[in-house]
Structure 1
Amino acid sequence: MKDIKSKLISAEQASKLIKNNSRLGILTVGPRSYPAELCKALERRFVSEGRPKGIEVIFNLSYGEEKGEGIDRFGHQGMVKRFIGSDYSFSPRISRLISKNSVQAYCFPSSVISEMFSAGAHNKPGVISKLGIGSFVDPRLQGGRLNPCSEEGLVEHLVFREEEWLFFKNHPLDAVILKAEAMDEEGNLLFYSPAAKSEAANLASAARKNGGLVIAEVKRIVERVRWEMSLPAFLFDYYVLAKDESKRRDKIKSSQLLNLSQEWEIIAGRVTKEIEEENKVFLSKRLRAMLPKIASSGKKFKIIADWFDPWEAEGELGEEERNIVFLDYLPHFCDTGLLDLAIVPFNQIDGSGNVNSSKKGHKIIGCNHLLEVCQNSKKVIFCGTFTPNGYSLNLQEGELRIIKDGRLTSFVPQVEQITFSSEQAFKYGQEVMYITERAVFSLHDESLVLLEIAPGVNLWQDVIQKMECEVIISPQLKLMDFSLFVKKKDLGQLSQIG
């Protein structure tokens, strides 16, 4: 313990070990692995001293509540010269810097980021993957670049054995910061999950291979850690004892799920009709408000999620929790092709059926594990409202009344960023649907086909004229199910009458 105590330093001391213009890897596999104290200290030092400056930050996921927390602590002009990550959704300061072209920024799939860390640990030149072909990650489109100043090409398009691949270059790390649950008296670290342990091992090894520095933030010191969830002391240079955060919860409980608005009740109800018995279903965190309605559909299927842990939910969803399978780290599972159905949000759709789910105006969301999910699921359903903002709807006698539409439409001539490629979906025979509160579409031969409209909606005035892209109207066009548009109290009265 005596030798280990000499390696215990403060967060402020640790922040001074990160040099200007260095490449920093950060462990972000779940909030419990994110080194909050170290990131705070780095931010404080930059604000007060202007150092470290010009660093490159490589991370996987972002966390926080859009209040300058998580990776957003690095969102200061001059602090970072380049970001490489998969998720920018909780980083408004970084989004603003990217939009102003003040920092280089790239976005790659979550599992690719993890494999990049592994490549660094195993002396590989990079990662070869099919993820992102035809999307904004493809170098023939944007190559993952998020703005004009991100000039360097970090992705290459390859043809190997007559198949297309993308090659993501390796980025040797100068320093790594990470967080562990506990440290024992010999300096071995305990991690809260296999995924956190695996990514921490790759990050630390990658830095070691490059002669870099590894600093670990730890929650507590114990006599001995469990070997099956631990990493050896020789991987780490210094340790920082974190403040007690035992009262914080990491997973979303059902009490934190947002109430469904009227239009999203319709969308969730229509989505549920597409779920078949025994399906393995991915539900995006951005659609988490739909969870109670989908889980209580009465069908036997499994919802795969990394943001809702039934073991921590304390029975709040009742028996429906049996339908939920919590996976510690989704991207690698989603990449296997074992998902039957993916339920994902959209921001924009074009006439070819391409979808933008990763960018919303000036807000950079990132792809996170959307590419893994959308590219590898047998069926994909994209959900969203027909006009994104400023609309007003009402239900009346089993019909949908459009009182006021938003200024913008979700259906555009060309999406701002291709998160989902209809060309690739058509090539591999994926079934694709697009569900809104007033219309349901499908993908056919790289074209958008209108299948259903809501009762009470005017086809021309409320649907076709509100679209800025071409659409094919199915000869079998029909009305959406009447029951979706009956208010709950009215539906109860109808069932009593029946």
Structure 2
Amino acid sequence: MKNKLLSTKSAVNMISNETTLCTVGFTLMGASETILKEIERRYLETGLPKDITLMHSAGQSDRESGIQHLAHKGLVKRIIGSHWGLAPKWGELINNNAVEAHCIPQGQLAHLFRAMASGKPGSFSRVGLNTFIDPRVEGGIMNELAYQSGSLMQIVNILGEEYMFYHSIPIDIAIIRGTTADEYGNITMEDEAIKLEALSVAQAVKRYGGKVIVQVKNIARKGTLNSRNVEVPGIYVDAVVQTEDPLTDHRQTSSFFFNPVYSGSVKEAASTLNPIPLTLRKVIGRRGVMELYPDATVNLGTGIPGDTIGPVASEEGILDDVLLTVESGAIGGIPEGGMDFGITKNADAIIEHAYQFDYYNGVGVDITYMGAAEVDQYGNVNVSKFGTKAVGCGGFIDITQPAKKVVFLGTFTAKGLEVDVNDGELKITKEGTKKKFINHVGQITFSGEYARNREQPVYFVTERAVFQLSFKGLELIEYAPGIDVEKDIISQMDFKPHISPELKPMPTELFKDSLLNIKRFFEKERINLIES
């Protein structure tokens, strides 16, 4: 077998004009910074490569790095991905029609890579029906330029049921990352926080006769790696690049160069998981935690869900009674939030990206907590596009559509909202200038109609009101103590919700800096289960 170690420049020279390039990463986790920087340098100095198609399943940036290096007009002519919320340069290119942009749900892209690897013409799923991904709605087309190519999906009928069919997209070059490579190109991932879809992408590229480039920190002598630790065999690898600056270009996460807690080799002491202060966001998270029950398998989205549900559950002493998961492949433990969303402290397991979505799509989590930027009178939710600003759906659709229960967490208004949380009541000191509950959402990322037809329990939790989705539409079921329902809730909505005949105040304990005693509720539930 040949030695596959190459210089970064030599590896990047393998990328030619009009190539379809697939990168693997999740925020900055798994980002091959050394290689991406070299592609950018080469393009800016020589104008090559040009007119490539860029594919990526998860969002891959921390606002500055990752695929931001490829955000140049002329370098990329078409982007196919799921999320650009942390990639402002890409948002600008998409919004200005400087690149053709298509959105495919994150999990569906991860599954599509596997389908391509095994020689299939594509993959089919019910995920995406009735949302903006559905070709009868928008077909995942994110800007005017993309309309010239049309949707990459279609509706098919299988045994009398409608499905989305996601077409295969041949890949020429893949860029993936590992921790250690031997001289034959066998790749391990012992220091990586998540595995993602590196193996599936490498196999998909080989199916089309393409090339796989891998960035690593360490080089081992041929034949010395433990075979059980090899995540990507050398038969799928064409070039290995060893980064010269791992502290900058091979970070485990945006915030950490390396912490063994996130790669699963060390468990952090529970005593170091400090409670978060009582704020507007924590109030929302606490009310969300009240929807939990013993042994629930839970998914957490980014934002308030990822930032609050784990810490509140830990503080209440129920973390061991539920199982928290994140879409990147982490199961158990406490997921991190903010720019490090996707990694987990004290995870029980870290599995491949696509397998996590197999579970999410097939079984469906017991509860998923997600954010909501816009909500309309029909229960539709938008988190993917605002005017011309393209964000993308990420794994949102993959997770919310099959979930057994959906709890949306978010502030009632946006832009400037300030509140006081004190002594069992909520006081609005400054109202947000942007309404979030509007007549019609700008894009349907979550379909209220689809949820109602499935009889899926759906809740919308804010700091001042809780709604449920009913066949009548949005129904107000709780309000915060200290809040005037007409003045502070209904007048701040573009539509009047249905009012539950059993409308009641939210528990005053939510607005006090003390425990909710949810542990006691869990203990009672377990006793009831045993007795029944």
Q: TM-score with structure 1 length normalisation?
A: 0.88
Q: Are residues 1:228 and 2:228 paired?
A: yes
Change (3 A) 1:125 1:446: farther
Match of 1:75 in 2: 71
In the alignment, structure 2 segments of 5+ residues that lack a partner are 336-343, 518-532
Match of 1:241 in 2: 242
- 3-state SS in 1 of match to 2:171: coil
**Equivalent residue runs for 1:248-267 within 5 Å:** 248-249=257-258, 251=262, 262-267=279-284
Match of 1:111 in 2: 107
Matched to 2:54, the amino acid is V
Change (3 A) 1:430 1:325: farther
Q: 1:61 aligns with which of 50, 55, 58?
A: 58
**Equivalent residue runs for 1:88-107 within 5 Å:** 88-107=84-103
- 3-state SS in 2 of match to 1:381: strand
Match of 2:129 in 1: 133
- For residues 158-185 of structure 1, what are the alpha-carbon distances to aligned partners after superposition, in whole Å with 9 as ceiling and x for unaligned? 2221111001111111212222222223
Change (3 A) 1:396 1:214: closer
- For residues 308-330 of structure 1, what are the alpha-carbon distances to aligned partners after superposition, in whole Å with 9 as ceiling and x for unaligned? 788899xxxxxxx9996554333
Pairwise CA distance, 1:197: 6.7
More deviation, 363-372/337-346: 363-372
Q: Contact 2:25/2:196 (CA < 8 Å) preserved in 1?
A: no
- For residues 455-497 of structure 1, what are the alpha-carbon distances to aligned partners after superposition, in whole Å with 9 as ceiling and x for unaligned? 11111111111101341111111111112223559x9xxxxxx
Matched to 1:378, the amino acid is K
**Equivalent residue runs for 1:432-443 within 5 Å:** 432-443=458-469
Q: 1:279 aligns with which of 296, 316, 326?
A: 296
- For residues 353-410 of structure 1, what are the alpha-carbon distances to aligned partners after superposition, in whole Å with 9 as ceiling and x for unaligned? 0111233565543222222221121111001011111122123543222222111111
Distance (whole Å) between structure 2 residues aligned to residue 182 and residue 395 of structure 1: 50
Matched to 1:44, the amino acid is R
Matched to 1:289, the amino acid is D
Q: 1:289 aligns with which of 303, 307, 316?
A: 307
- For residues 430-474 of structure 1, what are the alpha-carbon distances to aligned partners after superposition, in whole Å with 9 as ceiling and x for unaligned? 100000000000000161001011111111111111101341111
Q: Are residues 1:406 and 2:407 paired?
A: no
Change (3 A) 1:41 1:60: same
**Equivalent residue runs for 1:176-215 within 5 Å:** 176-192=174-190, 199-215=197-213
Q: Contact 1:60/1:85 (CA < 8 Å) preserved in 2?
A: yes
Distance (whole Å) between structure 1 residues aligned to residue 14 and residue 202 of structure 2: 16
Q: Contact 1:393/1:400 (CA < 8 Å) preserved in 2?
A: yes
Distance (whole Å) between structure 1 residues aligned to residue 273 and residue 391 of structure 2: 21
Distance (whole Å) between structure 2 residues aligned to residue 138 and residue 474 of structure 1: 33
Q: 1:169 aligns with which of 161, 167, 170?
A: 167
**Equivalent residue runs for 1:340-359 within 5 Å:** 340-359=366-385
- For residues 129-161 of structure 1, what are the alpha-carbon distances to aligned partners after superposition, in whole Å with 9 as ceiling and x for unaligned? 111111111111111111121112201012221
Pairwise CA distance, 1:46: 1.2
Distance (whole Å) between structure 2 residues aligned to residue 103 and residue 83 of structure 1: 7
RMSD: 3.1
- 3-state SS in 1 of match to 2:401: helix
Q: Contact 1:426/1:446 (CA < 8 Å) preserved in 2?
A: no
Distance (whole Å) between structure 2 residues aligned to residue 487 and residue 208 of structure 1: 56
Q: 2:414 aligns with which of 383, 388, 408?
A: 388
- 3-state SS in 2 of match to 1:376: coil
Matched to 1:63, the amino acid is Q
Pairwise CA distance, 1:221: 1.3
Q: TM-score with structure 2 length normalisation?
A: 0.83
Match of 2:528 in 1: none
Pairwise CA distance, 1:256: 11
More deviation, 229-238/218-227: 229-238
Change (3 A) 1:214 1:294: same
Change (3 A) 1:249 1:146: farther
Distance (whole Å) between structure 2 residues aligned to residue 132 and residue 195 of structure 1: 29
Matched to 2:176, the amino acid is L
Pairwise CA distance, 1:10: 1.5
More deviation, 249-258/298-307: 249-258
Change (3 A) 1:418 1:461: same
Pairwise CA distance, 1:331: 2.5
In the alignment, structure 1 segments of 5+ residues that lack a partner are 314-320, 492-498
More deviation, 193-202/422-431: 193-202
- 3-state SS in 2 of match to 1:335: helix
Match of 1:121 in 2: 117
Matched to 1:148, the amino acid is E
Distance (whole Å) between structure 2 residues aligned to residue 187 and residue 210 of structure 1: 19
Instruction: Report the identity percentage.
Output: 31
- 3-state SS in 2 of match to 1:41: helix
- For residues 263-295 of structure 1, what are the alpha-carbon distances to aligned partners after superposition, in whole Å with 9 as ceiling and x for unaligned? 112211211211112211212232322021133
Distance (whole Å) between structure 2 residues aligned to residue 157 and residue 74 of structure 1: 32
Change (3 A) 1:236 1:277: closer
Distance (whole Å) between structure 1 residues aligned to residue 326 and residue 465 of structure 2: 27
How many residues end up aligned between the 2 structures?
480
Change (3 A) 1:44 1:406: same
Q: Contact 2:26/2:59 (CA < 8 Å) preserved in 1?
A: no
Change (3 A) 1:327 1:371: farther
